[in-house]
Amino acid sequence: MTILEDFLKTHDAGALLDIACGGGAFTKRLTENLKSYTSVLGLDIKAESSDGFFEAVKGHDISFISASIHDYLETADAFDTVSVSNALHHLEGVGEVLKDVRNILNEGGTFIINEMHCDNLTPSQQTQRDQHKFLADLQRAAGEYHRETWSRSEILEFVANAGLRIQHTYENANEDAPITKEPDRMVERAQTAIEKAYPAGAPNSVNTERDRLAARSSEIGSSPPPQLTLVCIGA
């Protein structure tokens, strides 16, 4: 099995929870490739994600709940399969969250973790890492929890400490992904985040970093980060 889809095609997922599902890109990848499932629940702190989620995820018994995973875990049902994609760096106290998620896995349940990481980056991936950190810092300054990308070893440590055992590991270095040399969208997003974080005016250092990242993006480009995917069971 070299890619996640190889595993999904063999997996009867039962009741599935996709944590921090956003617009459903990863949920779609699951539902389109799983051998079977009985129900799918997408959970995201942002209620406005639901429109994109229902547009992206087609199938039977699909539902969405708007909640923080921290609140949801206080009264959560149990699931046969739980997934979380590219959101570990959005979850405050992620180590404890993963331990609590393990406790809502039914006997023999599966936990699929897909997360970008910051190891062995190409120059264009380094641009993406820096842009992501810049936006995450601004969002944190505005009160939303978001941090820079974890390393591979940090992700593996969270998993081990949560009492999860890895059954399959998939690596996607994303080295050949297309490189974008168009900074306008990043600058637009950064500007919105800067105004939210610093309504009375941003420090010079913030504007300088925005300009550095825009210049780097035009010169070197930006490209998607490497992804680590782990299929785990309770240890």
Ligand X SMILES: C[S@@+](CC[C@H](N)C(=O)[O-])C[C@H]1O[C@@H](n2cnc3c(N)ncnc32)[C@H](O)[C@@H]1O
Instruction: Please give the residue ranges that form the binding site for ligand X (CB under 6 A).
Output: 20-22, 25-26, 43-46, 49, 68-70, 85-87, 90-91
94 or 213: whose CB is closer to ligand X?
94
| Closest separation in Å from C-beta 88 to ligand X | 9
Of 102, 188, 100, 117, the closest CA to residue 152 belongs to 117
13 or 20: whose CB is closer to ligand X?
20
68 or 172: whose CB is closer to ligand X?
68
| Closest separation in Å from C-beta 84 to ligand X | 7
| Closest separation in Å from C-beta 58 to ligand X | 16
DSSP code per residue over the chain: --SHHHHHTT-B--EEEEET-TTSHHHHHHHHH-SB-SEEEEEES-TTHHHHHHHH--SSSEEEEE--HHHHTTS---EEEEEEES-GGGSTTHHHHHHHHHTTEEEEEEEEEEEE--SS--HHHHHHHHHHHHHHHHHHHTT----PPPPHHHHHHHHHHTTEEEEEEEEE--TTSPPB---HHHHHHHHHHHHHH-TT---HHHHHHHHHHHHHHHHT-B-PPPEEEEEEEE-
87 or 193: whose CB is closer to ligand X?
87
34 or 202: whose CB is closer to ligand X?
34
| Closest separation in Å from C-beta 143 to ligand X | 12
| Closest separation in Å from C-beta 92 to ligand X | 7
21 or 206: whose CB is closer to ligand X?
21
| Closest separation in Å from C-beta 107 to ligand X | 25
Tokens of 67: 């909640």
